[in-house]
Each structure stands twice: as structure tokens, then as C-alpha cells.
């Protein structure tokens, strides 16, 4: 545990000048995070701009070498980072949670280093030839959420650095310590000014969005904030990648082997205690298997251990903050008041801590209920009955959101045929939310625009330049 103290000591500030950051499970103060101002932001952006030409001049091979050194460093400090992440964010160490997230940070950093991006010859005829080269944009502003704070920061930072940009990061005010610790690990290998964290509140976020010194904003967060960033970018014409909210549907086709999909289905819904952008948030099940699915999910939900994340037995944790806890409670109470059936859960679980909520399965509910139509972002799933597959597809597509979706069937071809008709950036088959650093990820409709990961992700933080003769 001594190493945890070391990183925390490095990034935290004294009580009198910092923002208290609670342990998500116990609500006791972990440490005090710096509260940076817009003046700090201006300074960080000026430093990033000054550092950028030198960073770009290192070239791809050297930047990739440094990114690998950073990935090694993340792995060498993995347990310390995971413990801090678990305490601040709430996700348990065990299961697809804190250790998994830190592992993903190293993996995505290596992927950004290794993905080739050669100039493309797009036209050739006789003496004429046109090539597209990918140049750095300049300074990237990265604004992140509180649900996967380290991993999502890496998604924004690593490709930007690889392409020769410098980066100023604004973490969520709920999870600054995780991002500060991660950046401290990065900065053991980066020149001064290349990566700076500005740990400020929402006003600092708004100042980043409109800042004339930035060339690109990578934003992951709610659709509402995404809209504000689009408005603000009218001032700086910053390029935008917007990874926004989701209300992902899942459709189980008739005749599916429910036992075979049960575990993937559970984690597709409850990954990170449901606080995942591309988690399954409304489940459409055919009449013929409705009760079987409801019962299977309820049994898994009741059996899956929830509690303090540092206890290795637990795989589900608390809601990260009070605001999100209130959203979940409101939506479940509303569903109950409308006559929906709370099959399991449906109440707070204060025996584990103030912001724990029971893992909840809600049946006999329909589109139009807020629990179905809104993003719950917590450990609750509404299960909705359908009779015709076409009708299920229509209802899945009726949302303004379009991040992810899934189709479940023992017949993969039939599932693929249905998947092609569902409106979402990714449609998974017999899984939900699985991501891969080489596979582009991004939403459509009000879930945002632009893609991350792989070649598409590198291009998103680069300026295309055409050389034509
Ligand atoms: P949020 O929009 O409240 O906050 C996100 C970040 O934006 C924070 O750092 C915040 O300080 C900052 N911010 C606030 N106001 C701002 C402004 N006016 N200008 C610029 N920045 C501002 O979102 P959240 O509650 O932290 O995250 C949860 C949401 O994020 C959910 O809707 C979830 O679906 C979404 N999300 C999406 C993805 C994805 O990849 N699509 C991933 C994770 C989370």
C-alpha cells in the first residue's frame, strides 16, 4: 500500500486549498484534488502550444517508442492505479472493473503506438498523382466523464500524442484523482508541456470548449453537454469528436438459447454497475421467452456480489455520485408507480454504503415509461415484451440516441440480418459493449459523431493534407 500513498501524495493538494474527493463506497474523503482556474487553463494551453512543434518533430517512431514506455509504466503501477480508481470511481478491483480498466489503458496506449497510418495515394493517372498525408492538428483539449475516467482519457490522449499533438485534459470533477494519477504516470516519459491536466469544475470545461488556443476537442460525456460544446466551437472552429450518451436497445430473437447467452447478457447490462455509455439499457424480449429471460436475469442479479470495491469478493459497486443515485431511484420509483413489476431489487442498499442501489430487474413495462426512454446509467434494466421482430426493431430505433445496440440469437445469420436494420454506431451480436482497440467506435444520432480507435481514431486527431501534382 505504500505505493498508493506515493502517487496520491504526488497528485493531491492540502486540505485548505483542494476539493475533497470522497471514496465512492464509503463517502470518506480520499484526498484533496487541485481546483484549477481558467488562468491555469490559459497557462496549460500556452505551454502545450509551445511544446507541440518539438513533440511533432520527434516523428512517429520515437513517439511510438515513448508510448510503449508509458504502457510499460502503467503496467508497472497497475495495482496502485487500480486501487485509486476503485476508491474514487467505485468499481471493484475484481471482475470487468478497475484492474480491467487499467489493463485497457496500457492496451490502448500500445495500439495507438502501433497502428500504421501511411500517406494514402488517392488518385493516379499518368503524371498526375494525389496523396493524403496526416499531420498534427496542434493542441487537443480532452474532456472526460466519471464512469471510465482512466480508460476514456487514454482513448483521447494516446492517439493525440501519437499523431504529434499536445494535450490538455479536463477530467470530470467527480474523478480528478484517477486522471491526475494516470497523467503523472504518462509524464514520467513525456517532455514538459506535452500533457497537462487541468482539474477544474464545469466552468473550466466550458472555457476549454470555447478556447481560441485549441484545435480539437475530444469530448466524452452527456448529450446535453455535447450540445453546449458544439455551440462553443462556433468561436474557435475546433474539430470535434463527440462520444455522448446512449440508450442502447437489445433484442432477443425468438428461439434463442437463453442459458448460453445469460452471462454475456448480464454483463452487457450491468458492466460497471450499469454506468457505461454503451451498456444495454432497454431489453426487448419475444413473448415466447419473456418470463424465462426475466427469471434468468433476476437470478443472476440477485446472486452477483455487490459492495466495497476493495473487497475481492465484489463485482458490482455503488453509483459514483449522488446525482446519479437520484436518477436511478427516480426512474425505478416511477416505474413502480406506473404498475411495472420489480422482479428483483428496486431499493437502495445502505448496508453496503450510502450510494449503493440493488441490482434491479423491472418487467411488465413499455416504451413511454421514463425508465425505458431515458438513460438510467445504473444497475437497473427494463425488460420489454414484443410479439413481432419488425415491431421490436421499430421500437429500438425510436430513440433519439444511437450509440450501441445488440441482437441475440442462436442463429447468428438471422441476428446479423436484424442487426443491419438497427440504427446504432455499433450493433453487437450475442454480446454488448465489447470493445477492441482496432475496431472503430462511435455513435450516431444524438450519441455524437466521429470515431475513436484504430486508423479512424488516428485520423480524427490529424489534419489531412493533400499533396497533388
Ligand atoms: P457530463 O456531460 O455531465 O460531464 C462530462 C464532462 O464535461 C465533465 O468533465 C464536465 O466537467 C464537463 N463539462 C460540463 N459542462 C461543460 C461545458 N459546458 N463545456 C465543456 N465541458 C463541460 O457527463 P458525465 O455525467 O460525466 O458522464 C455521463 C454521460 O457520459 C452519460 O450520458 C454517458 O452515456 C456518457 N458517456 C459516453 C461515452 C461514449 O463513449 N459515448 C462514454 C462514457 C460516458
Task: Please write the tens of the pLDDT for every residue from 226-285.
Answer: 999 999 999 899 999 999 999 999 999 999 999 999 999 999 999 999 999 999 999 999
Task: Residue 10: count other Cβ atoms within 10 Å of its Cβ.
Answer: 12
Task: Provide CATH 3.40.309.10 ranges for the chain.
Answer: 248-429
> What CATH architecture is 7-244+447-468?
3-Layer(aba) Sandwich (3.40)
The pLDDT value given to residue 387: 98
The pLDDT value given to residue 82: 98
Q: CA 332, CA 362: separation in Å to the nearest integer?
A: 8
Would you say the CB of residue 450 lies under 6 angstroms from ligand 1? no
The pLDDT value given to residue 450: 97
With beta carbons less than 8 A apart as the criterion, state whether 251 and 418 touch: yes
For cell 466521429, name the residue.
450
Q: What is the pLDDT along the chain (469 residues), one digit of tens a residue?
A: 444 468 999 999 999 999 999 999 999 999 999 999 999 999 999 999 999 999 999 999 999 999 999 999 999 999 999 999 999 999 999 999 999 999 999 999 999 999 999 999 999 999 999 999 999 999 999 999 999 999 999 999 999 999 999 999 999 999 999 999 999 999 999 999 999 999 999 999 999 999 999 999 999 999 999 999 999 999 899 999 999 999 999 999 999 999 999 999 999 999 999 999 999 999 999 999 999 999 999 999 999 999 999 999 999 999 999 999 999 999 999 999 999 999 999 999 999 999 999 999 999 999 999 999 999 999 999 999 999 999 999 999 999 999 999 999 999 999 999 999 999 999 999 999 999 999 999 999 999 999 999 999 999 999 999 999 9
The pLDDT value given to residue 6: 87
Mutate to test the pocket of ligand 1, among 142, 143, 145 (most ligand atoms within 8 A of CB): 145
> How many angstroms does the Cα of residue 276 sit away from the middle of ligand 1?
12
Mean confidence (pLDDT) of the chain: 97
Q: Which residue pairs from 299-302 have beta carbons closer than 8 angstroms and sit at least 24 positions apart in sequence?
A: 300/262, 300/263, 300/266, 301/266, 301/270, 301/344, 301/345, 301/359, 301/360, 301/361, 301/379, 302/344, 302/345, 302/359
Give the closest residue to 330 by CA, choosing from 375, 274, 298: 375
Would you say the CB of residue 392 lies under 6 angstroms from ligand 1? no
> How many angstroms does the Cα of residue 226 sit away from the middle of ligand 1?
8
With beta carbons less than 8 A apart as the criterion, state whether 35 and 200 touch: yes
Task: Provide CATH 3.40.605.10 ranges for the chain.
Answer: 7-244+447-468
pTM of the model: 0.97
- Grid cell, residue 41, equals 487553463
Relative to the CA of 228, which ligand 1 atom is closest? 18
Q: CA 379, CA 16: separation in Å to the nearest integer?
A: 36
CATH topology for 248-429 is Aldehyde Dehydrogenase; Chain A, domain 2 (3.40.309)
With residue 208 as reference, give the H or E element that holds it. helix 202-210
Amino acid at each position: 500500500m505504500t505505493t498508493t500513498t506515493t502517487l496520491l501524495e504526488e497528485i493531491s493538494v492540502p486540505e485548505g486549498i483542494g476539493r475533497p474527493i470522497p471514496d465512492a463506497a464509503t463517502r470518506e474523503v480520499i484526498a484533496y484534488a487541485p481546483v484549477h482556474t481558467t488562468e491555469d487553463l490559459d497557462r496549460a494551453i500556452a505551454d502545450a502550444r509551445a511544446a507541440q512543434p518539438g513533440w511533432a518533430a520527434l516523428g512517429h517512431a520515437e513517439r511510438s517508442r515513448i508510448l510503449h514506455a508509458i504502457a510499460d509504466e502503467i503496467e508497472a503501477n497497475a495495482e496502485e492505479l487500480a486501487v485509486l480508481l476503485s476508491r474514487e470511481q467505485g468499481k471493484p478491483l475484481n471482475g470487468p472493473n478497475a484492474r480491467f480498466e487499467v489493463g485497457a489503458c496500457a492496451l490502448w496506449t500500445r495500439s495507438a503506438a502501433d497502428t500504421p497510418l501511411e500517406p494514402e495515394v488517392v488518385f493516379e493517372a499518368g503524371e498526375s498523382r494525389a496523396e493524403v498525408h496526416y499531420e498534427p492538428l496542434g493542441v487537443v483539449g480532452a474532456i472526460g466523464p466519471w464512469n471510465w475516467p482512466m480508460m476514456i482519457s487514454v482513448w483521447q490522449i494516446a492517439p493525440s500524442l501519437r499523431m504529434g499533438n499536445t494535450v490538455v485534459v479536463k477530467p470530470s470533477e467527480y474523478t480528478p484523482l484517477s486522471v491526475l494519477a494516470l497523467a503523472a504516470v504518462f509524464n514520467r516519459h513525456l517532455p514538459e508541456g506535452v500533457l497537462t491536466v487541468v482539474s477544474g469544475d464545469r466552468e473550466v470545461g466550458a472555457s476549454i470548449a470555447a478556447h481560441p488556443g485549441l484545435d480539437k476537442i475530444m469530448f466524452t460525456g452527456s448529450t446535453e453537454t455535447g450540445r453546449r460544446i458544439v455551440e462553443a466551437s462556433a468561436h474557435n472552429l475546433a474539430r470535434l469528436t463527440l462520444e455522448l450518451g446512449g440508450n442502447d436497445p437489445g433484442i432477443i430473437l425468438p428461439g434463442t438459447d437463453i442459458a448460453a447467452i445469460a452471462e454475456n447478457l448480464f454483463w452487457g447490462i450491468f458492466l460497471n454497475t450499469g454506468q457505461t455509455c454503451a451498456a444495454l439499457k432497454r431489453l426487448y424480449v419475444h413473448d415466447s421467452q419473456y418470463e424465462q429471460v426475466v427469471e434468468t436475469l433476476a437470478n443472476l442479479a440477485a446472486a452477483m456480489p455487490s459492495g466495497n470495491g476493495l473487497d475481492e469478493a465484489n463485482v458490482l459497486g455503488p453509483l459514483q455520485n449522488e446525482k446519479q443515485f437520484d436518477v436511478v431511484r427516480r426512474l425505478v420509483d416511477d416505474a413502480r408507480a406506473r404498475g411495472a413489476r420489480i422482479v428483483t431489487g428496486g431499493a437502495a442498499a445502505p448496508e453496503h454504503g450510502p450510494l449503493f442501489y440493488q441490482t434491479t430487474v423491472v418487467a411488465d413495462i413499455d416504451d413511454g415509461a421514463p425508465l425505458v426512454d431515458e438513460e438510467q446509467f445504473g444497475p437497473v434494466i427494463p425488460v420489454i415484451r414484443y410479439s413481432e421482430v419488425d415491431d421490436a426493431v421499430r421500437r429500438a430505433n425510436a430513440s433519439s440516441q444511437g450509440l450501441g445496440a445488440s441482437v441475440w440469437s442462436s442463429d447468428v445469420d438471422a441476428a446479423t440480418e436484424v442487426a443491419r436494420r438497427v440504427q446504432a454506431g455499433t450493433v453487437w451480436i450475442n454480446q454488448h459493449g465489447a470493445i477492441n482497440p482496432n475496431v472503430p467506435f462511435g455513435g450516431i444520432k444524438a450519441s455524437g459523431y466521429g470515431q475513436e480507435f484504430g486508423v479512424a481514431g488516428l485520423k480524427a486527431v490529424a489534419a489531412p493534407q493533400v499533396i497533388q501534382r
